[in-house]
């Protein structure tokens, strides 16, 4: 199929024009060879024409990084293609930035810190509230942008906008509640105080699976308490981040408070880590990269928050309500086609309910419609890229070789691209890759257990510890098991539990720190003890 691209007129200084160019390879980190940079960097696919023109007319289709007040290209002109995973078409080209641009973004953030941290919390709160209002009033465009570059069904994408914007609203309110303490003094002529102050410039590195929400849950609390940020979104999904930054500027958040760089991830990471001006690194992504960042942050002793991989158990006890368990496990497993760090990675089912659950669950999975996230009724979009599909394939192959049975799906979808059939695998054992590692795809492994102790042992037998789910009708068991699970979040009889008002974060190698809730802001604050002495003198 010939790929027709529309050139974003506003950015090349003319009317909307169209040109035909041959398809270009996805995931290339090199500038495209097919047209001059100045044109290609502004491309939108024909498939996305309507969405693009709406985004364009609302000014939300930004294809440059944000360094202080300036929307900027990479200094050497290099770009990266951003593609639609459902079609393979190139949506836009964005700058491939590196350490120079990152250093300039850090300087902008550093310059802006002084005034942003000194205005009142009420003023920062107003800006954040305005940003929230703009995110919500542009919910549809942002949702479409998320589906376009990430692939998730539009309904889920719209849900992400509400959820993501919720962090900005919540922290707009929390901005006004950063209280210090007065400590009863040990000496009569002294008064002891604790001040809470913003840590400084924050480097925020985010993944592709929630192009908006992973940014707002970091930037919301950081800005609320007076920090400024350099955000590095995933190169696979930078457009949502850029649109959100545009709205931040429109909300009156001063230039330099939010900066966006993208491109050469290791180089940007190194620049953020090396700079003594960056006082905090907050990261969501793979455990491997998180460990590198944690080690790198040691050089300048930065504060670090990490939201890393999970290996979520979903335990279904014999006494569970079958419908509730099936519905909950389905939501926990297949949201975003299984591409979240809180997705149920192992469904651990007690032997008395195992067969009934497996049948009912497989039936529900069979009803999940696979397709382009813009089509009505689609519940499962494509996986993010070919590597993601190959990972799922290799995990399933490993399980089959070791004796597991595929009871539904188990292969690429006839739609091609990176679409994969929603899959259920039974008789999975602890030693299989499906059980040991995060599949990050639409495959549900079923494991069998006999006793509560065994379920807890299986669930905790991992280095990860982010989310866990439990289905039971016993209040005593739900408490017992929640307390025994080595996880940061536990859902009882619920498959989707994350909200901006509750703390989100993992234990063990799933990370450090918490996002969301009243605790989330602490990650961006320093405590300062102030002693007022000689209070008895006149």
With CB atoms as reference, the residue minimizing the distance to ligand ADP is: 269
The pattern of x and - marking residues 284 through 313 that bind ligand ADP according to CB under 6 A reads: -xx--x--x---------------------
How far apart CA 325 and CA 357 sit, in angstroms, is: 8
Residue 206 in contact with ligand ADP, rule: CB under 6 A = yes
By beta-carbon proximity to ligand ADP, the closer residue of 134 and 201 is: 201
Q: What is the CB neighbour count within 10 angstroms for residue 108?
A: 23
Please report which helix (H) or strand (E) contains residue 17, including its range: strand 17-20
The pattern of x and - marking residues 150 through 189 that bind ligand ADP according to CB under 6 A reads: ----------------------------------------
Smallest distance from the beta carbon of 230 to ligand ADP, in angstroms?
12
Choices 137-145, 200-208, 447-455, 512-520; region in contact with ligand ADP by CB under 6 A: 200-208
- Kindly determine how many residues on this chain lie close enough to bind ligand ADP according to the rule CB under 6 A: 14
Smallest distance from the beta carbon of 296 to ligand ADP, in angstroms?
8
Smallest distance from the beta carbon of 336 to ligand ADP, in angstroms?
12
DSSP class of residue 510?
Answer: G
By beta-carbon proximity to ligand ADP, the closer residue of 325 and 512 is: 512
DSSP class of residue 46?
Answer: S
498: left (phi over 0), alpha (psi -120 to 50) or beta: beta
Contact of 273 with 232, CB cutoff 8 Å: no
Q: Which of residues 229-288 bind ligand ADP (CB under 6 A)?
A: 232, 234-235, 265-266, 269, 285-286
By beta-carbon proximity to ligand ADP, the closer residue of 91 and 205 is: 205
What does residue 236 show for φ and ψ, rounded to 5 degrees? Answer: -80, -25
How far apart CA 98 and CA 265 sit, in angstroms, is: 8
The pattern of x and - marking residues 454 through 473 that bind ligand ADP according to CB under 6 A reads: --------------------
By beta-carbon proximity to ligand ADP, the closer residue of 164 and 285 is: 285
Contact of 284 with 203, CB cutoff 8 Å: no
How far apart CA 416 and CA 420 sit, in angstroms, is: 8
Contact of 508 with 306, CB cutoff 8 Å: no
Smallest distance from the beta carbon of 29 to ligand ADP, in angstroms?
11
Choices 94-102, 127-135, 204-212, 448-456; region in contact with ligand ADP by CB under 6 A: 204-212
Smallest distance from the beta carbon of 320 to ligand ADP, in angstroms?
32
423, 483, 494, 426: which is closest to 459 by C-alpha?
A: 483
β-pair type (201-205, 278-284):
parallel
Smallest distance from the beta carbon of 306 to ligand ADP, in angstroms?
10
By beta-carbon proximity to ligand ADP, the closer residue of 124 and 232 is: 232
Indicate which single residue of 7, 168, 205, 456 sits in contact with ligand ADP (rule: CB under 6 A).
Answer: 205
Choices 180-188, 202-210, 316-324, 473-481; region in contact with ligand ADP by CB under 6 A: 202-210
Choices 83-91, 227-235, 454-462, 485-493; region in contact with ligand ADP by CB under 6 A: 227-235
Structure tokens at 170: 């919540």
Q: Which of these is catalytic: 307, 438, 500, 515?
A: 307
Longest dimension (CA), the chain: 87
By beta-carbon proximity to ligand ADP, the closer residue of 51 and 205 is: 205
348, 314, 502: which is closest to 430 by C-alpha?
A: 348
How far apart CA 437 and CA 440 sit, in angstroms, is: 9
How far apart CA 283 and CA 206 sit, in angstroms, is: 6
Structure tokens at 278: 């960056």
By beta-carbon proximity to ligand ADP, the closer residue of 285 and 442 is: 285
By beta-carbon proximity to ligand ADP, the closer residue of 231 and 521 is: 231
By beta-carbon proximity to ligand ADP, the closer residue of 77 and 266 is: 266
Indicate which single residue of 68, 200, 207, 211 sits in contact with ligand ADP (rule: CB under 6 A).
Answer: 207
Smallest distance from the beta carbon of 221 to ligand ADP, in angstroms?
19
Smallest distance from the beta carbon of 207 to ligand ADP, in angstroms?
4
Give the three-class secondary structure for 470: strand
> What is the DSSP track for 47-67?
TTHHHHHHHHHTT----SEEE
Choices 219-227, 228-236, 375-383, 412-420; region in contact with ligand ADP by CB under 6 A: 228-236
168, 162, 179: which is closest to 258 by C-alpha?
A: 168
Give the three-class secondary structure for 501: coil
Smallest distance from the beta carbon of 203 to ligand ADP, in angstroms?
9
Structure tokens at 351: 């032997």
32, 141, 146: which is closest to 79 by C-alpha?
A: 32
Measure Cα distances from 350 to 319, 347, 403, 471, 491 in Å.
9, 10, 19, 11, 18
Q: At what angle do helices 475-484 and 452-460 cross, to 10 degrees?
A: 30
Choices 199-207, 240-248, 443-451, 508-516; region in contact with ligand ADP by CB under 6 A: 199-207
169 is catalytic: no
Catalytic residues: 307
Q: Which residues bind ligand ADP (CB under 6 A)?
A: 205-208, 232, 234-235, 265-266, 269, 285-286, 289, 292
């Amino acid at each position: 199929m010939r790929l027709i691209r529309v050139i974003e007129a506003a950015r090349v200084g003319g009317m909307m024009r169209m040109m035909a160019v041959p398809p270009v390879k996805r995931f290339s980190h090199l500038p495209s060879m097919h047209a001059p940079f100045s044109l290609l960097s502004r491309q939108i696919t024909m498939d996305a024409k309507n969405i693009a023109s709406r985004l364009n007319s609302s000014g939300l289709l930004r294809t440059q990084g944000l360094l202080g007040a300036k929307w900027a290209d990479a200094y050497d002109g290099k770009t990266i293609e951003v593609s639609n995973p459902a079609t393979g078409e190139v949506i836009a080209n964005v700058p491939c930035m590196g350490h120079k641009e990152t250093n300039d973004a850090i300087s902008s953030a550093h310059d802006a810190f002084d005034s942003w941290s000194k205005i009142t919390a009420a003023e920062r709160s107003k800006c954040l509230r305005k940003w929230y209002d703009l995110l919500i009033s542009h919910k549809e465009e942002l949702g479409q942008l998320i589906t376009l570059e990430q692939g998730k069904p539009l309904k889920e994408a719209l849900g992400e906008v509400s959820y993501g914007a919720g962090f900005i609203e919540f922290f707009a309110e929390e901005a006004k509640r950063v209280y210090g303490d007065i400590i009863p003094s040990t000496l009569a002529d002294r008064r002891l105080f604790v001040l809470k102050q913003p840590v400084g410039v924050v480097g925020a590195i985010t993944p592709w699976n929630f192009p908006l929400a992973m940014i707002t849950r970091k930037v919301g609390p950081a800005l609320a308490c007076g920090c400024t940020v350099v955000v590095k979104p995933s190169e696979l999904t930078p457009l949502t981040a850029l649109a959100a930054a545009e709205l931040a500027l429109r909300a009156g958040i001063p230039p330099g408070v939010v900066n966006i760089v993208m491109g050469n991830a290791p180089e940007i990471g190194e620049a953020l880590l090396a700079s003594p001006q960056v006082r905090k690194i907050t990261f969501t992504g793979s455990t491997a990269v998180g460990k590198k960042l944690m080690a790198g942050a040691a050089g300048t002793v930065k504060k670090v928050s990490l939201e890393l991989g999970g290996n979520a158990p979903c335990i279904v006890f014999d006494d569970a309500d079958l419908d509730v368990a099936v519905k909950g496990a389905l939501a926990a497993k297949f949201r975003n086609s299984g591409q979240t760090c809180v997705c149920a990675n192992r469904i651990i089912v007690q032997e008395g309910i195992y067969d009934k659950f497996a049948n009912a669950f497989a039936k529900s999975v069979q009803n999940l419609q696979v397709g382009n996230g813009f089509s009505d009724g689609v519940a499962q979009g494509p996986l993010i890229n070919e590597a993601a599909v190959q990972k799922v394939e290799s995990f399933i192959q490993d399980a089959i070789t070791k004796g597991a049975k595929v009871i539904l799906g188990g292969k690429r979808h006839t739609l091609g691209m990176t679409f994969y059939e929603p899959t259920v695998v039974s008789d999975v054992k602890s030693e299989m890759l499906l059980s040991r590692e995060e599949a990050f795809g639409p495959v549900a492994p079923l494991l069998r257990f006999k006793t509560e102790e065994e379920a807890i042992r299986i669930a905790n037998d991992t280095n990860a510890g982010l989310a866990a789910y439990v289905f039971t009708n016993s209040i005593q068991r739900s408490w017992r098991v929640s307390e025994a699970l080595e996880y940061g979040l536990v859902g009882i009889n619920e498959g989707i539990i994350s909200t901006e008002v509750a703390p989100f974060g993992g234990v063990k190698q799933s990370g450090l720190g918490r996002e969301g809730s009243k605790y989330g802001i602490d990650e961006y604050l320093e405590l300062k003890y102030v002693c007022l002495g000689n209070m008895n003198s006149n």
